[in-house]
Amino acid sequence: MMSTLNQNNANHASEMQQTRQMIKRLILKEFQMYQKQFAAYVIGLLIGLTLIGMAKTWAFYAGGMILLVLLICVGGFAIQSSLLNERREHTLSFMMSLPLTPMTFFWSKVLANLVLYLVPFTIVLAGTAFLVLFTPLPDGILIWSFLIYGFLATNFFISLAAALVLESEGWNIFVQIAVSTFVGPFMVFIGTIDAIGKKIQSNEIVLSREALGIFALELTIMVLALVFARRVYRRKDSFL
C-alpha cells in the first residue's frame, strides 16, 4: 500500500512537472510569435519617456500621450493576438492536439498575456520613477502617474478576463473600448482629490491614505477579474 501511495505521488509530481513545462512552452511560443511587434511598442514607450525627460511643457504632454496610448494598445494587442485571433482563425487544432487540460490552457494564456504586458509596463514604471527622481520634474507627480498606470493595468485585467470568458469578438472589443473611455475621467478625478492633486507640483512624494485606497481598489479589481474569469472558464467544455 505504501509503495502504491509513493507511486501515485510520483505520478502526480511527474504530471505537474509536465504541465509546468507545457505552460512554459506555450508562453515562449506567444513571446516568439509577437516579439518584433512588442519590441516596436517598447521603442515607442522609450521615445515617450525620453520626451517626458526633456522637462519641457510640450514634450511632457507629447510623451505622456504616447505612454497612455501605447500602454492601452500593447494590452489590446496582446489579448487580440493570443486569444481573439485564435477564435477568428480557428487555429485551435494545434492546442487541442497537445496533452493539456482546459485549465492548463487557461493559465498558459493568462501568464503569457501577463508577461507580454507587464514587461513594457514595468519599463514604463521604472522609467517614470527614474525621470521623476533624477530630472527637474516635480517629485509629487510620481504618485499621480503610478495611480494612472495602475488604472491602465486594471483595464487590461478586465479586458483579459472578458476575452477569456466571452466568445463574441464584438463584445470583447466593446469591453476594451468601454474601459479605455474612463482613463480621461479617472485622471481628472484623482486630480481633484486634494491629497493627490495638490501634491503634483510639489517636490515631495506623498503616499496619502487616499492614494493607498485607490491602489488597493485597483489591485482588488485585478484579482477579482482573474478569479471571475477562472470560475467561469472552469465550466467550459472546450478551450475557447
Question: Would you tell me how many other CB atoms lie within 10 Å of the CB of residue 160?
Answer: 26
Residue 16 lies in a domain: no
CA 2, CA 79: separation in Å to the nearest integer?
47
HSE of 234, CA atoms in CB hemisphere, 13 A = 5
Q: Who contacts 191 (Cβ-Cβ below 8 Å, separation ≥6)?
A: 144, 197, 200
The residue among 106, 121, 203, 195 whose CA lies nearest residue 154 is 121
Question: Are the CB atoms for 46 and 123 separated by under 8 Å?
Answer: yes
Sequential pLDDT tens for the chain (240 residues): 555 545 555 554 555 676 677 677 777 776 777 778 888 999 999 999 999 998 788 999 999 999 999 999 999 988 888 777 766 655 555 555 555 677 777 888 898 899 889 999 999 999 999 999 998 899 999 999 999 999 999 999 999 999 988 888 888 999 999 999 999 999 999 999 999 999 998 888 999 999 999 999 999 999 999 999 999 888 765 555
Residue 12 lies in a domain: no
Q: Which amino acid is at 187?
A: M
- Grid cell digits, residue 197: 492633486
Reported as type and span, the H/E element at residue 102 is helix 102-134
Name the residue range of residue 128's domain. Answer: 21-233
Residue 60 lies in a domain: yes
Residue 103 lies in a domain: yes
Residue 15 lies in a domain: no
Tell me the pTM: 0.86
Residue 201 lies in a domain: yes
Residue 130 lies in a domain: yes
Residue 189 lies in a domain: yes
Residue 181 phi, psi (nearest 5): -70, -15
CA 55, CA 22: separation in Å to the nearest integer?
47
Number of domains in the chain: 1
